[in-house]
């Protein structure tokens, strides 16, 4: 079997060289790409009754890819957005192969011609100020464990950090206890190895100082009850437990990303401009941040009031404004 026909070498180059070295994609993106092919290859292997290590590039026909996408939705219960995400990965692989081997250009065209399914973005879930305060009041701050949980919740609300940014936070990333009028800051390591600084409230500084006492710069800021750094799953479970103690949140799914949305929405309500919010959340494009400008009914009601039909107008004609006419003629 010619090397250029075998699927394995192409896939290895794509996952180990192209998306890591050439494109420098984020770790979570690389994991998503890997998971797509971990699902796709066994599916095609079963269809063809052919071992995975003997698959060739042409075995990934557009028909098999379409069947795989249907399998994701029908059998695995994936949403249309997840289906489109998996398809985007397969298209990227096809583009990679087609751009390097002319013999696979036609195959690449068939794969890239598969259309994405239209999907509506999910509504942005967020908490009101009262609901967020109830969440913060859920941990028992009389105990050491409760104070640590409160510190984590308050940090997420203050910074709007992603859950991955919270789990990766180290003591050295905190600039607190500043002197000479300096600001208390945290350095967050976001997607694509990008970093940003976020100011901390005095209350956030106070609880974080209590958390990191007697820790080295390389130590994690947020430690679980087992004495190990918090994981993504641990933070999800913590927020789930706290939300269960708030009666107003019964029946709602509260995640770390809901708290991130809450931070953004509260900044919008406070009158912070959208570009500042973009920098605060670490969005690359302001179009991502624009969703927060559309969610608050109060802002929409104020906008409608500005253009309400039937409001009384001044009966005075512009021609009667002698000072205005004099001004215009003098120009």
> Within this chain, do residues 163 and 256 fall inside the same structural domain, yes or no?
yes
Same domain for 148 and 35, yes or no, is no
Claim to verify: residue 254 and residue 136 sit in the same structural domain: yes
Asked if residue 329 is part of any domain, the answer here is no
d(CA 259, CA 246): 15
Q: Are residues 166 and 239 in the same domain?
A: yes
For residues 197 and 183, is the Cβ–Cβ distance under 8 A?
no
* Intervals of the chain under pLDDT 70: 1-3, 178-182, 294-325, 327-328, 330-331
- Any catalytic annotation for residue 162? yes
Where in the sequence is the domain holding 38, given as residue range(s)? 7-112
The neighbour count for residue 86, using CB atoms within 10 Å, is 21
Same domain, 98 and 204: no
Q: What is the pLDDT of residue 15?
A: 93
Is 110 part of the annotated catalytic residue set? no
Asked whether residue 55 is domain-assigned, the answer is yes
Annotated active-site residue in 260, 261, 266, 278: 260
Catalytic residue (choose from 162, 196, 266, 278) = 162
DSSP line for 306-327: HT-TT-------GGG-HHHHHH
- Kindly state whether residues 106 and 168 are assigned to the same domain: no
Return the pLDDT at 60.
95
Q: Which residue, 228, 122, 244, is CA-closest to 167? A: 228
Same domain, 223 and 266: yes
Q: What pTM value is reported for the model?
A: 0.70
My answer on whether 26 and 83 are in the same domain is yes
Same domain, 95 and 158: no
Which of 34, 191, 206, 236 is catalytic? The answer is: 191
Give the CATH number of the domain where residue 254 resides. 1.10.443.10
Q: Is 206 a catalytic residue?
A: no
* Residue 282: other Cβ atoms inside 10 A: 21
- 123 belongs to a structural domain: no
Is 283 annotated as catalytic? yes
Examine the domain organization and report whether 69 and 143 are in the same domain.
no
Q: Is 71 a catalytic residue?
A: no
Residue 280 and residue 223 share a domain: yes
Q: What is the DSSP string of 273-290?
A: -HHHHHHHHT-SSHHHHG
Residue 2 falls within a domain, yes or no? no
Instruction: Select which of 47, 64, 141, 257 is catalytic.
Output: 257
Q: Degrees (nearest 5) of the Cα angle 203, 204, 208?
A: 120
Residue 236 annotated as catalytic: no
């Amino acid at each position: 079997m010619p090397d250029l026909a075998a699927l394995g070498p192409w896939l290895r180059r794509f996952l180990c060289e192209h998306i890591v070295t050439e494109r420098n994609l984020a770790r979570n993106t690389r994991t998503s790409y890997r998971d797509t092919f971990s699902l796709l290859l066994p599916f095609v292997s079963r269809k063809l009754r052919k071992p995975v290590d003997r698959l060739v590039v042409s075995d990934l026909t557009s028909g098999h890819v379409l069947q795989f996408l249907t399998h994701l939705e029908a059998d695995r219960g994936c949403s249309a957005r997840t289906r489109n995400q998996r398809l985007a990965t397969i298209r990227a692989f096809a583009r990679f192969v087609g751009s390097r081997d002319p013999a696979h250009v036609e195959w690449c065209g068939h794969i890239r011609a598969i259309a994405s399914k239209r999907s509506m973005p999910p509504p942005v879930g967020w908490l009101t100020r009262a609901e967020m305060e109830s969440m913060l009041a859920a941990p028992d701050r009389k105990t050491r464990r409760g104070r640590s949980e409160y510190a984590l919740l308050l940090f997420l609300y203050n910074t709007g950090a992603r859950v991955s940014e919270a789990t990766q936070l180290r003591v050295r990333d905190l600039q607190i206890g500043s002197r000479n009028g300096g600001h208390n800051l945290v350095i967050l390591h976001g997607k694509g190895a990008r970093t940003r600084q976020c100011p901390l409230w005095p209350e956030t500084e106070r609880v974080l100082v209590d958390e990191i006492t007697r820790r080295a710069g390389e130590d994690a800021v947020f430690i679980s009850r087992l004495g190990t750094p918090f994981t993504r799953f641990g933070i999800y479970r913590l927020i789930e437990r706290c939300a269960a103690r708030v009666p107003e949140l019964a029946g709602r799914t509260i995640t770390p990303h809901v708290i991130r949305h809450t931070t953004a929405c509260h900044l919008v309500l406070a009158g912070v401009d959208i570009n500042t919010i973009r920098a605060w959340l670490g969005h690359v494009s302001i179009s991502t941040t624009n969703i927060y400008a559309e969610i608050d009914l109060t802002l929409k009601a104020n906008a409608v009031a500005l253009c309400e039909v039937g409001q009384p107008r001044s009966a005075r004609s512009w021609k009667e404004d002698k000072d205005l006419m004099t001004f215009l003629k003098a120009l």
